[in-house]
């Protein structure tokens, strides 16, 4: 088609410096390459998924379909339909006593996914220059969300040896009068670690000493937890209710990633501010998904039988992965207690020369090597702030995991006899 003279008018294609400052998600580096290989017909096994491999339970989908049939397809209140917020309050305290935290519906805002809840919470409470304390390894979005709100992320490292749990003393040493928000994620993405109640109590004592400090407790993997580990909601600890923003959602435990429903609960002044932002951005969450979420909460304590079947499958896979990687030379692993990830330290392999590949330098080249040799896609730990490790999602069938482990083993074994060619 011929271009008109109007097309020649020069357009300023610059975008805001704020957007330019956002770092592209490293989590995609390997998965994009893996996708391209798959499209070219290479039988790649991708263990990079951040979502369950199960279908949304039928009762939940049915409620969504009924919502459409019933014409429940209009705008809802910005904070979410009252019956869902009431059900969330019952879940958070109520008869089922899941979390032991009392909220009223006006202290809850339902969003289009927990991600939206978190970004709104950070914007609602942080001013420019405030510090957001993020234990590493972290879910990378926290960092960019903090930057988006013109806050400064302050990273507090943890280690494999310590099951990736925060050292309260180290946390205390990082706090200043500018510290505004501590983000805790338990069970954790990417490590699968679960904070024991005693450790949370120690953290709460430190938080209590800092009047400006709030806690965002990301509990989205709450139900995907393996006994004897148990989940403690930070807001349920003495003195912490008025300091805590509790975030949860339906994506993980109920296999509802595409439905986009999450929520925040907390003191009304903070939650109302979150609602104000949401009112400007997206209004209420998807009406159909809210009905589906209501059905999910209707499944009973911790998602009832339906969720426990999924969790049982995840546990079987977790046990298989831990056993397999414990047997592998040069791998350090701390047994995850929740979520569906293992986060293993593979730095022993760094500095080793691989045939027809070159030297494995870091977590990214380790993943590139495995994609090349084993045709297995993992996520480099550098995407989560820990370059010694890689994240393996076991959100795939046991048979797929068995094949992936076999391929990884076959690729790594020849490296174990290779001398180090560079030091790390």
Do the beta carbons of residue 203 and residue 173 sit within 8 Å? no
Q: Does residue 189 belong to the site contacting ligand PMP (CB under 6 A)?
A: yes
Among 86, 159, 205, 257, the residue binding ligand PMP under the rule CB under 6 A is: 257
According to DSSP, the β-strands at 376-377 and 358-359 are unpaired
- Give the position of tokens 């925060």: 166
CB of 65 to ligand PMP, least distance (A): 21
CB of 187 to ligand PMP, least distance (A): 9
Q: Does residue 284 belong to the site contacting ligand PMP (CB under 6 A)?
A: no
Q: Does residue 222 belong to the site contacting ligand PMP (CB under 6 A)?
A: no
Tokens found for residue 126: 């942080």
Do the beta carbons of residue 160 and residue 390 sit within 8 Å? no
Q: Does residue 249 belong to the site contacting ligand PMP (CB under 6 A)?
A: yes
Which segment (28-36, 109-117, 153-161, 298-306) binds ligand PMP by CB under 6 A?
109-117
Residues 137-166 that bind ligand PMP (CB under 6 A): 139
Exposed, middle or buried by CB within 10 Å (0-12, 13-18, 19+), for 157? middle
Alpha helix ranges (H) inside 80-196? 82-92, 114-125, 141-148, 168-174
Q: Give the residue with the Cβ less far from ligand PMP, 102 or 155.
A: 155
Q: Does residue 275 belong to the site contacting ligand PMP (CB under 6 A)?
A: no
SS3 content of the chain, % helix, strand, coil (to 5): 45, 15, 40
Q: Give the residue with the Cβ less far from ligand PMP, 50 or 137.
A: 50
CB of 415 to ligand PMP, least distance (A): 31
Q: Does residue 115 belong to the site contacting ligand PMP (CB under 6 A)?
A: yes
CB atoms within 10 A of CB 70: 10
Q: Does residue 255 belong to the site contacting ligand PMP (CB under 6 A)?
A: no
Among 143, 183, 185, 371, the residue binding ligand PMP under the rule CB under 6 A is: 185
Q: Does residue 391 belong to the site contacting ligand PMP (CB under 6 A)?
A: no
Which of 212, 164, 162 is closest to 187 using CA atoms?
164
CB of 115 to ligand PMP, least distance (A): 3
Q: Does residue 234 belong to the site contacting ligand PMP (CB under 6 A)?
A: no
CB of 139 to ligand PMP, least distance (A): 4
Question: ∠ CA 83-86-92 to the nearest 5 degrees?
Answer: 145
How close are the terminal C-alpha atoms of the chain, in Å?
57
Q: Give the residue with the Cβ less far from ligand PMP, 103 or 263.
A: 263
Among 120, 251, 337, 365, the residue binding ligand PMP under the rule CB under 6 A is: 251
Taking the C-alpha atoms of residue 280 and residue 275, their distance in angstroms, rounded to an integer, is: 9
Q: Give the residue with the Cβ less far from ligand PMP, 225 or 412.
A: 225
Q: Give the residue with the Cβ less far from ligand PMP, 200 or 220.
A: 220
Tell me the three-class secondary structure of 350-417, residue by residue.
Answer: CCEEECCCEECCCHHHHHHHHHHHCCEECEEHHHHCCCCEEEEECCCCHHHHHHHHHHHHHHHHHHHH
Q: Give the residue with the Cβ less far from ligand PMP, 110 or 360.
A: 110
Do the beta carbons of residue 228 and residue 66 sit within 8 Å? no
Residues lying near ligand PMP in the complex (CB under 6 A) = 50, 113-115, 139, 185, 189, 218, 220, 249, 251, 257, 262
């Amino acid at each position: 088609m011929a271009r008109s003279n109007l097309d020649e008018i020069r357009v300023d294609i610059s975008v805001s410096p704020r957007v330019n400052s956002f770092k592209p998600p490293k989590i995609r580096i390997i998965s994009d390459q893996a996708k391209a290989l798959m499209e070219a017909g290479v039988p790649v096994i991708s263990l990079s998924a951040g979502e369950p491999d199960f279908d949304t339970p039928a009762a939940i989908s049915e409620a969504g379909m009924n919502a459409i049939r019933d014409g429940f397809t209009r705008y809802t209140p910005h904070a979410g339909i009252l019956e869902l917020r009431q059900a969330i309050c019952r879940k958070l305290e109520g008869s089922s006593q899941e979390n032991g935290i009392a909220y009223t519906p006006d202290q809850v805002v339902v969003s289009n996914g927990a991600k939206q809840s978190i970004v709104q919470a950070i914007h609602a409470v942080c001013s420019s220059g405030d510090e957001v304390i993020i234990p590493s390894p972290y879910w990378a979005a926290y960092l960019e969300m903090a930057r988006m709100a013109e806050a400064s992320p302050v990273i507090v490292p943890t280690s494999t040896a310590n099951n990736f749990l925060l050292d309260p003393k180290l946390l205390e040493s990082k706090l200043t009068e500018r510290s505004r928000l501590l983000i805790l994620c338990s069970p954790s993405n990417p490590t699968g670690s679960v904070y024991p109640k005693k450790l949370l109590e120690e953290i709460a004592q430190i938080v209590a000493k800092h009047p400006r400090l709030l806690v965002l407790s990301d509990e989205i993997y709450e139900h995907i937890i393996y006994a004897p580990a148990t989940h403690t909601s930070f807001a349920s600890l003495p003195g912490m209710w008025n300091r805590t923003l509790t975030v949860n959602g339906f994506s993980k435990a109920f296999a509802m990633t595409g439905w986009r429903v999450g929520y925040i609960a907390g003191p009304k002044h903070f939650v109302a501010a979150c609602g104000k932002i949401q009112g400007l951005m997206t209004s209420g969450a998807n009406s159909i998904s809210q009905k589906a979420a209501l059905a999910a909460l209707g499944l009973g304590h911790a998602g009832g039988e339906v969720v426990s079947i999924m969790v049982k499958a995840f546990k079987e896979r977790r046990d298989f992965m831990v056993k397999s990687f414990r047997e592998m030379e040069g791998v350090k692993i701390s047994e995850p207690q929740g979520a569906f990830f293992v986060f293993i330290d593979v730095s022993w392999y760094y500095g080793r020369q691989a045939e027809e590949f070159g030297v494995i330098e870091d977590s990214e080249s380790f993943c590139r090597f495995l994609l090349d040799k084993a045709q297995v896609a993992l996520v480099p730990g550098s995407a989560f702030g820990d370059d010694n490790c890689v994240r393996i999602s076991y959100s795939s069938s046991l048979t797929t995991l068995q094949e992936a482990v076999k391929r990884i083993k076959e690729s790594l074994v020849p490296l174990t006899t290779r001398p180090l060619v560079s030091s790390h």
